[in-house]
């Protein structure tokens, strides 16, 4: 890594009354500029088929500040407003590359309130952070040490739905270096009874964080429903619900960080299964439990930590029949309902369903690195599917389909969405 890994350090801070007012105004202006720019770009594309880039929206921002209606945009720091335009440019870039949907308007109630400052808009001296348009530094709670000699390149200030204020400092972390190589390999099967089952036979429990607070959450949500719409009491009740959700999320994230850090430190090669979580939550009986397990977040943490520390993460194809294969003889069972937790193969081997799946996942992952499976898949793999995830070459988007697709979505958003401050 050579000490070039950029890492964000997030801390809570407690703004003064003046700072809270200034940041709230900045959040509103950022949202307003983003929505105005999105409206301008959508209108240009829907009516004239014209692509408006960052430079054009930046010029529009200057013109908006000179109008009487939008003169308040000049009262906050200009850097977060420019950054909002850059974020919109990135969103359109992802859309044209077919990595994301058409950008959506930001809502005052549903969107995350945040503002990004670059180096020209903040002062960092000896661990003291002062933002533009503010006389006093932020009162930050330093819950962990920053890298020695680190200087933030960008600072992002945000406020969540529970009313908590956070500041995220992006800087280079020289402590992120490859770990000593090891021969340890492990296959990982995710589940609900146990969050993770390893090919070594170890089972890591599922704390079910949402279930622990389900009663309190239901009580708070019922109280929220009884409050009159747009009243102060309803706003207070909404914050109580948000705080319970925040507590659940914090516990879940902390638990996953501890697990993934331990796995990356101890193991050189980690083999996981490619799961279509968005499709699996379509099962309404298991959707709440699947969302609470947060398998997608587990994979994200595992992958970026492995890239930091020189570990390998291999992904097995989602159609690989890991549960129905006998890890001893390779026989394929005809069916394996979820209710079956232990089964006996024709060869006489008694399998724990999850441990057997983890061992099969490990074997499939080792085939990738040793035999090249997945690059040249077997013609008749067990279960009729390749052992490893196959990536088909992506076709370059043609101009005409992209034009039609983008224009139709731009027309739809332009007609139905409203810009709100």
Q: CB under 8 Å to 250, separation ≥6 — which residues?
A: none
* β 269-273/185-190 pair status: parallel
Q: Please state, in angstroms and as integers, the Cα–Cα distance from residue 103 to each residue in 54, 81, 99, 298, following that order.
A: 14, 17, 12, 26
| Helix (H/G/I), strand (E/B), else coil: 374 | coil
Q: Please state, in angstroms and as integers, the Cα–Cα distance from residue 13 to each residue in 29, 133, 159, 254, 307, following that order.
A: 21, 17, 10, 19, 30
Closest CA to 316 of 273, 279, 285, 357: 273
Helices marked H in 139-213:
209-212
| Residue 70: how many other CB atoms lie within 10 Å | 17
**Are 421 and 28 spatial neighbours (Cβ–Cβ below 8 Å)?**
yes
Q: Is 173 a catalytic residue?
A: no
* Token digits of residue 254: 């902390």
CA 335 remoteness from chain centre: 35
What ranges make up the beta strands (E) of 1-90?
6-13
C-alpha angle 237-206-355 in degrees, rounded to nearest 5: 160
Residue 269: strand pairing partners: 185, 312
Q: Is 273 a catalytic residue?
A: yes
Q: Is 189 a catalytic residue?
A: yes
**Are 23 and 15 spatial neighbours (Cβ–Cβ below 8 Å)?**
yes
Q: Exactly one of 22, 116, 173, 273 is catalytic; name it.
A: 273
Q: Exactly one of 189, 210, 292, 317 is catalytic; name it.
A: 189
- Cα separation, 225 vs 78, in Å, equals 40
Q: Exactly one of 116, 210, 292, 354 is catalytic; name it.
A: 354
Q: CB under 8 Å to 47, separation ≥6 — which residues?
A: none
Q: CB under 8 Å to 349, separation ≥6 — which residues?
A: 326, 327, 328, 329
- Cα separation, 201 vs 187, in Å, equals 10
CA atoms within 13 A on the CB side of 77: 22
Catalytic residue numbers?
189, 273, 354
């Amino acid at each position: 890594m050579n000490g070039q890994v950029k890492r964000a350090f997030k801390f809570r801070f407690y703004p003064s009354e003046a700072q809270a007012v200034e940041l709230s105004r900045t959040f509103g202006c950022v949202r307003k500029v983003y929505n105005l720019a999105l409206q301008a770009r959508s209108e240009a594309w829907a009516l004239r088929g014209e692509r408006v880039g960052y430079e054009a929206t930046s010029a529009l921002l200057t013109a908006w500040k000179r109008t009487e209606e939008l003169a308040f945009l000049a009262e906050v720091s200009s850097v977060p407003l420019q950054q909002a335009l850059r974020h919109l440019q990135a969103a359109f870039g992802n859309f044209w590359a077919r990595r994301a949907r058409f950008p959506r308007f930001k809502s005052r109630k549903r969107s995350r309130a945040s503002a990004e400052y670059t180096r020209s808009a903040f002062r960092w001296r000896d661990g003291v952070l002062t933002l533009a348009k503010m006389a006093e530094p932020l009162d930050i709670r330093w819950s962990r040490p920053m890298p020695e000699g680190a200087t933030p390149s960008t600072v992002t200030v945000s406020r969540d739905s529970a009313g908590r204020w956070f500041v995220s400092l992006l800087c280079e972390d020289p402590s992120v270096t490859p770990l000593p190589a090891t021969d340890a390999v492990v296959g990982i099967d995710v589940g609900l009874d146990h969050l993770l089952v390893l090919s070594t036979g170890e089972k890591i429990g599922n704390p079910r964080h949402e279930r622990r607070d389900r009663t309190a959450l239901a009580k708070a949500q019922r109280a929220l429903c009884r409050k009159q719409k747009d009243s102060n009491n309803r706003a207070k009740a909404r914050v109580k619900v948000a705080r319970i959700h925040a507590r659940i999320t914090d516990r879940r994230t902390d638990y996953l960080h501890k697990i993934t850090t331990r796995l990356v430190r101890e193991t050189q090669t980690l083999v996981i299964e490619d799961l279509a979580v968005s499709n699996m939550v379509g099962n309404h009986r298991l959707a709440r439990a699947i969302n609470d397990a947060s398998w997608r977040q587990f994979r994200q943490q595992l992958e970026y930590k492995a890239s930091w520390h020189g570990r390998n993460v291999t992904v097995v194809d989602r159609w690989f029949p890991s549960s129905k294969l006998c890890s001893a003889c390779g026989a394929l069972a005809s069916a394996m309902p979820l209710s079956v937790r232990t089964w006996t193969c024709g060869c006489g081997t008694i399998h724990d369903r999850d441990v057997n799946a983890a061992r099969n996942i490990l074997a499939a992952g080792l085939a990738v690195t040793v035999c090249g499976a997945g690059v040249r898949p077997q013609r008749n793999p067990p279960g009729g599917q390749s052992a490893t995830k196959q990536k088909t070459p992506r076709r370059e988007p043609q101009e005409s389909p992209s034009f039609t697709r983008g224009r139709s979505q731009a027309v739809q958003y332009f007609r139905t969405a409203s810009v709100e401050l």
